[in-house]
Structure 1
């Protein structure tokens, strides 16, 4: 599956501060990676409709069993409302059965800096993984 490029569900004012989250998921098996992949389009679709969503992208490396997500939100509460809603909530719970490792990082930027590039997201995720 190719990457799902950055899309902007709703634009924020360029000088508004937005809440960014990047995540890295590694599945324990290739079968788990395919299970993750099958759920991804529905979750991305949900994000594109979520109130307060200002951007979303996915990088899928199925045969490496690694997935990266990148999203921008109006604020922390908008992200949390999305995470607690369906189908994300059920999918996230089910994924724990086949996940090897998950890493998350969050920061804020001015909306005019969107979209965030993968290099920045991966740098921040790597810093988060070495912080433990």
Structure 2
């Protein structure tokens, strides 16, 4: 089970950095629980309930932030759950300025797909970059 969740986390990060929003959305179950820290001024939806909305979230993210890399600091796996800690590196599309912020990503699998998804990020840094 822990190998499955590790593989899903690896695929999620790989597809996100490759800008494969359709591929990212296919990693999620149709009925999911989603939470992301609200970022003032961000165009991405705060309510996400299905794969289509997952894809909309990542498309909106890409419309303002070009993800240039992810530095991982640790992955904790317990049964079908995982927490990934690291740093997102991006370039602001409007200004071309670099931005990076710490994050923690928590996922839970059901049937091999992401059923629960939570992202904790430095919202102050992101809001400032998008202002």
Same fold (TM over 0.5): no
For normalisation by structure 2, the TM-score amounts to 0.31
Larger RCO (CA within 8 A; separation ≥ 6): 1
